[in-house]
Amino acid sequence: MTSTNPTLDLAGGATAPPAGRRPAKRSSYRAAETRRKWYEIIGLTTPAVIVYVMFVLVPIGFAFYYSLFRWRGVGPPTDYVGFDNYVLAFQDPIFLDALRNNAIIVFGSLLIQGPIALGVALLLNRSFRGRTLFRLLAFVPYVLAEVTVGIMWKLLLSDAGTLNALMEAVGLGGLVQAWLADLDIVIWTLLFVLTWKYVGFAIILLLAGLSNVPQELNEAAAIDGASWWQTQRHITLPLLGPTIRIWMFLSMIGSLQVFDIIWVTSVPAVRSLGASATMATYMVDNGFFARLWGYGNAVAVILFVISFVAALIFQRFLLRRDIQGAVTGRAK
């Protein structure tokens, strides 16, 4: 007698279900999993996207819109001038001086803070008594508020400040300078202040990178007869490369957008001549205090474009290898 149950064979044993049922269930399960993942992605990213659009993209759009008008902040903008504000900015020698000062700060920060931070980090990475205290002291300037640092150094470096008084007291009166008023040296004075403030961040970042260097590699190099300098050069520095590049990127963008320390420390009269101005301080001076809101927005857009292009170039040529190494593809 033949069984009428399609899932039983002649011997009464179980057989596979008819063809087509299991693949259909599997396909519907995969579709449900895909939908669930997309719901999770949308739910998690939507708040961040909304915040990003409202507080980044929308302000950028408004800044570009207002930059096309000659507007003093009263009533709706009606005097359309197109790109005249951008042309006026690049024709202003004070703005060109601000661009030059930003370039000095960018390259000065990389060339001065980098070697200092690397050397101090390598020393603080070794075991010795008081290492924790020295690490703390190196990081203290960075945690101080920018306004506090600016006021402190302004009091120290003013014409009748502590530094000049100390030099005269020890017989070094010939070295007394108008550190914040001399048009030739004020930008270098501000670069020193910025280095004192931010080198601690670079030190801590590099120390974090050094903590990820396997100690076994240093021990193996020592067994092979490598000196401390050879170990740092051929093992530590190559492995520290990604951390150094990340610090360079952060330092570059921060130097392009620097404002608070420059604003507080510099003398307004000197800044108005361009000797200590940066693009950010120039934007505030001309946009907020001179009430040239359209012109100030044009400067803000120029600053954004320069920072954005610099970030893209840096990522394309220096961070590309690190980013590619951090992204894992699906095994084929």
Percent of the chain's residues with pLDDT above 90:
48
Alpha-carbon distance of 200 to 13, in angstroms, equals 76
On whether both 210 and 297 belong to a single domain, the answer is yes
Q: What is the Cα–Cα distance from 98 to 187, expressed in whole angstroms?
A: 10
Q: Residue 81 falls within a domain, yes or no?
A: no
How would DSSP label each residue in 238-259? HHHHHHHHHHHHHHHHHHHS--
Asked if the structure places residue 84 within a domain, the reply is no
What pLDDT, on a 0 to 100 scale, did the predictor assign at position 59? 92
Q: Which amino acid is at 290?
A: A
User: Average pLDDT over the chain, rounded to whole?
Assistant: 85
Identify whether residues 208 and 260 lie together within a single domain: yes
pLDDT at 19 over 80: no
| 24-73 pLDDT tens trace | 667 777 777 888 888 888 988 999 999 999 998 999 999 999 999 988 87
Length of the chain: 332
Sequence-distant (≥ 6) Cβ neighbours of residue 185 within 8 angstroms: 177, 179
* pLDDT value of position 25: 65
**CATH code (residue 282):** 1.10.3720.10
110 in any annotated domain: yes
pLDDT at residue 301, rounded to an integer = 95
> Among residues 46, 64, 82, which one ends one of the domains?
64
Residue 85 is assigned to a structural domain of this protein: no
pLDDT in tens, 231-257: 888 888 888 988 999 999 999 999 999
Tell me: do 131 and 245 sit in the same domain. yes
Burial class (CB in 10 A: 0-12, 13-18, 19+), 78: exposed
In a domain, 263, yes or no: yes
Burial of residue 34, with CB atoms counted within 10 A of its CB: 0-12 exposed, 13-18 middle, 19 or more buried: exposed
pLDDT value of residue 327: 44
DSSP string of 186-201?
A: HHHHHHHHHHHHHHHH
pLDDT at position 305: 95
pLDDT of residue 117: 94
pLDDT greater than 80 at residue 88? yes
pTM metric for this prediction? 0.82
Q: Are residues 43 and 117 in the same domain?
A: no
Say if 83 falls within a structural domain: no
The pLDDT of residue 8 is: 45
* Domains identified in the chain, total number: 2
Same domain for 158 and 229, yes or no, is yes
Rounded to an integer, the average pLDDT of 292-307 is 94
Residue 195: inside a domain, yes or no?
A: yes
State mean pLDDT over 260-287.
91
Q: What is the domain range of residue 41?
A: 4-64
Tell me: do 60 and 96 sit in the same domain. no
